[in-house]
Structures are given as C-alpha cells and as structure tokens.
C-alpha cells in the first residue's frame, strides 16, 4: 500500500490498515496532540509522532476513556517500513476548590 504520509492503526483493537488514518508529512488538520505539534513548529512528523497523534484521536473519538492503556499501534512510514509503538495515556488530574464557610455565631450549637 502506497502512502503519502504515515498510516496508523491500532493492533490492540485488531484494526486493519484500511481502518486506520493517514497523516501527511506537513500536517494541515488541527486538534489535540497534532495541534500541540503545530504550536511548537514541529512540521516534520516521524513514526512516533504519528502513533501519538492517532492515539490522541482514538482517545477522543473512539471511547479511549473506556480502554485499558497502553495500546499498541502500527505505523506504516512513507517508505513502506512498519513500526509498532506502545502508547501510554497520561492521567491529567482536574482540581475543584470549594470555599469552606465557617458557621456564624448564631449557627454554633454548644
């Protein structure tokens, strides 16, 4: 199969190459991890970048929250070489603060 960029699919989910996604050498689509790469002016993708971008897409679009990570992804490079990558998902905690109000003297029961 000839690809103009990198072709990525998930081996853990038993996907086929045809069900994967392609990423061009110079990405033009923003979103998630790909947007971070664009923000850092990292225009030259490599196979590792392609695996991480597709993992991010899978997480957002294919119920990645419900998956057991790490997942294994296969990448076909523009030259036809295949590489497998284990991709781990980092946990990003969210914090919520709630003010603790002291009871007024009228509310204090001895």
Q: Which two tokens stand for residue 53?
A: 């971008």
Please report whether residue 63 resides in a domain.
yes
**Nearest one of 67, 57, 72, 59 to 15, comparing CA atoms:** 72
3-state secondary structure of 37: helix
| pLDDT, tens only, 10-53 | 999 999 898 887 775 444 444 555 555 555 554 567 889 889 88
Please report whether residue 93 resides in a domain.
no
Please report whether residue 72 resides in a domain.
yes
**Cis previous bond, 70, omega within 30:** yes
Q: How far is CA 24 from CA 6, 7, 8, 72, 101, in A?
A: 6, 9, 11, 21, 55
DSSP bridge partners of 36: none
Report if pTM > 0.85: no
Please report whether residue 108 resides in a domain.
no
Q: How many domains does the chain have?
A: 1
Q: Which two tokens stand for residue 2?
A: 């000839």
Range of the structural domain that residue 59 is part of: 6-87
Helix (H) or strand (E) holding 93: none
């Amino acid at each position: 199969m000839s690809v103009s960029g990198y072709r990525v699919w998930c081996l853990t989910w038993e996907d086929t190459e045809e069900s994967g996604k392609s990423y061009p050498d110079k990405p033009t689509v923003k979103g998630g991890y790909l947007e971070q790469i664009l923000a850092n002016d990292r225009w030259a993708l490599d196979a590792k970048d392609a695996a991480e971008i597709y993992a991010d897409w899978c997480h957002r679009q294919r119920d990645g929250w419900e998956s057991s990570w790490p997942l294994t992804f296969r990448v076909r490079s523009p030259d036809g070489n295949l590489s497998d990558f284990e991709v781990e998902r980092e946990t990003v905690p969210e914090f919520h603060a709630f003010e603790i109000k002291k009871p007024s003297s009228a509310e204090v029961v001895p």
